[in-house]
Structure 1
Amino acid sequence: MQPIAQRVIVLGLDGAGNRIGEANTPNIDRLLGGGFLTYSARTAVPTISGECWGSMFHGVKPELHGLNNSIAEQKKYPTDSPYPSFMKVVKEAYPDRTVASFSSWKPINDGIIEEGVVDCAANARADREHVQSLTELIKGDNDFKLLFVQFDEIDAAGHAFGYGDPLYLEVIAATDALIGDMLQQLDSRGLMEDTLFILLADHGGGGASPRNHGSDHPQDVTIFWGCAGPGVLSGAASEPVRIEDTAAVVAFSLGVEAPAAWTAKVPSGLFEETVR
């Protein structure tokens, strides 16, 4: 299977649900303008970060990957699991290429991604630190293969002010500005054209409670999911996107065979037929 992109960058906006269309997001709009964007993708249930990010990375629902916040905070994900993360799958396929993860929520690097997989990891105290982490990564290795970045302050704003509150939407806008800074860095080094970008939320909020999430209410379960880069069709895929499908899209884009145990799949209509 031939790769269609030289590298993949996954940007995760924790707690953004499907509300980015309500905020001022010129950089996200510009990036996804020629690609694919849905506001009706579905995340895992319960709609908690451990379960949802776990499904995104490991390509299966929570009842199979077994992660929750408590487990991710206390244990490393087993390296012999039949449901490896896409980070592990890509690293095994490209052992000499850099796989990196920058996260403001520590359990992603410490408990959801397997030990020994990530070459470059940064657990940030503030989302803005990811811009500096990217600077350091690019200075040290322009040829990285896979990068995941998790922005946490949107979810914190949802808990503090309410999901959909004007102050919450301001934090989405501030996160978009950070993404713009990152895109500018990538562009200045000629790394945009052959990169596949995936942008998504892990969950929404405000369904059962204005300042919380975790339920199966549509406001908690429905997320945005966008993809742009080589071979991506603009418009809508012909089937619903699930958060676990992210793993299959990453693997396919880099020409890596997906593990048989994954339930993740590449949504039909996402890519041009010539690259499938």
Structure 2
Amino acid sequence: MNQVESKEIRRAIIIGWDGAGSFVEQAETPVLDRWMARGGATLGAQTVFPTISAECWGSLLHGVTPEKHGLNNDKAAVEKYPGDSPYPSLFRVAHEAYPERKLAAFTCWKPIMEGIIEEGIGVHKVSMPDPELALAVADYIRSNPDVYVLFVQFDLPDCAGHQYGYGEPDYLRAISETDRMTGVIMQAVEDAGMLEDSLIVMTTDHGGGGVNPKGHGTDHPLDKTVFWTCSGPGIAAGSAVPEGLGLIDTSAVVCRALGLPIPGQWEARVPEGLFGEA
């Protein structure tokens, strides 16, 4: 990958579409298509096993496999993630490096807030249904252009997959609606003048329909294959994501972009060449 001119990255924004897998290729997603073209993108990244929300979001945020972070949906719903875990979240890494900087998480699925993201590390947390969530994130961005790390989780695709079946027309329409809501957020990013110095990551935790048409959790390719894209200073537009990148690497990529230390106990890594290095 060729070296590209790089500005300083001042913030990272991660937008996750729960349960979208790689089905975005079959849906109308003009917003995602635009952002995939702006940076590095793939429809063939791999998530972790088992392909279940807590395990997958936990691996994205904590940089280790489910065997190490120990999360599952039942546990995340009733237990707070330990603040002294040897596997800190991206938020904890950012807070420990720069305790004064703004961190925020907006999710539809509430267990992420306490069961996956630690308490007491200054994260502004909001949980509400997807349509209201998109507007709340947009308002927050316009009021807080100095946010340092922002994580957003939409739930609509996974809900539709469980109800109608992954890959079915109503499911694909839910992906398209999530794309529209993502556009509300990205318009706010542009309005706030944050576009040119932000790392933008868009991805999903898992797919579905591999074994059970209305379920997920297996290592079937339909469950395990996900889209992943990031754009921002130092990442060439239209570039291919280096082979081998997985969902688990997301937090390491963000740390690299922000100049944060990547915890040695993380299994997450930064794929060679992602930021234009020779």
TM-score by length of 2: 0.94
Residue of structure 2 in register with 1:91 after alignment: 95
Query: 1:3 and 1:186 mapped to 2: Cα distance?
Result: 17
**Cα separation, 1, equivalents of 2:121 and 2:136:** 18
* Corresponding letter in the other structure for 2:263: P
- Mapped partners of 2:216, 2:123: distance in 1: 32
CA contact (8 A) 1:4 1:255 kept: no
Question: 8 Å contact 1:3–1:252 — kept in the other structure?
Answer: no
Tell me which amino acid in the other structure corresponds to 1:81.
Answer: S
CA drift at 1:118? 4.2
Residue 105 of structure 1: CA displacement? 0.3
The alpha-carbon deviation at position 96 of structure 1 amounts to 1.1
Report the alpha carbon displacement of residue 245 of structure 1 after superposing the two structures with TM. Answer: 0.2
Structure 1 residues 191 and 105, CA gap change in structure 2 (3 angstroms): same
* Residue 197, structure 1, aligned to residue 197, structure 2: no
Gaps of 5+ in 1: none
Partner of 1:14: 18
1:54 corresponding residue in structure 2: 58
Q: How many residues align?
A: 272
CA shift, 1:121, in A, is 0.9
1:165 to 161, 164, 168: 168
Q: Map of 1:32-181 to 2, 5 A cutoff? A: 32-124=36-128, 126-181=129-184
Task: Report the Cα distance in structure 2 between the residues aligned to 1:3 and 1:89, rounded to whole angstroms.
Answer: 23
Corresponding position of 2:273: 269
> In the alignment, is residue 258 of structure 1 matched against residue 262 of structure 2?
yes
Matched residue of 2:45: which SS?
A: strand
Aligned equivalents of 1:240 and 1:4: distance in 2?
26
Task: Note the aligned Cα RMSD (angstroms).
Answer: 1.5
Percent pairwise identity: 48
Tell me the equivalent position of 1:219. 222
Q: Is the 8 A contact 1:55 1:65 kept in 2?
A: yes
User: Aligned to 1:259, what secondary structure does the other structure show?
Assistant: coil
Q: Describe the superposition over 1:34-78 as per-residue Cα deviations: whole angstroms up to 9, x where unpaired.
A: 211111111111111010111001001000010011111111111
Q: Which of 227, 231, 252 is the matching residue for 1:228?
A: 231
Q: Could you tell me which amino acid in structure 2 is paired with residue 67 of structure 1?
A: L
Q: Classify the secondary structure of the residue corresponding to 2:147.
A: coil
**Residue number in structure 1 paired with 2:241:** 237
**Residue 202 (structure 1) shift:** 0.2
Counterpart CA distance in 2 for 1:121 and 1:238 is 32
Letter in 2 for 1:23: A
Question: Are positions 1:182 and 2:189 aligned together?
Answer: no
TM-score for both structures, normalised by structure 1: 0.95
Q: Is the 8 A contact 2:17 2:204 kept in 1?
A: yes
SS at match of 1:148: strand
The answer for unaligned runs of 5 or more in structure 2 is 1-5
CA positional deviation for 1:88 = 0.8
Partner residue, 1:248 = 252
Matched AA of 1:22: Q
Preserved contact between residue 5 and residue 253 of structure 1 (Cα < 8 Å): yes
Partner of 2:3: none
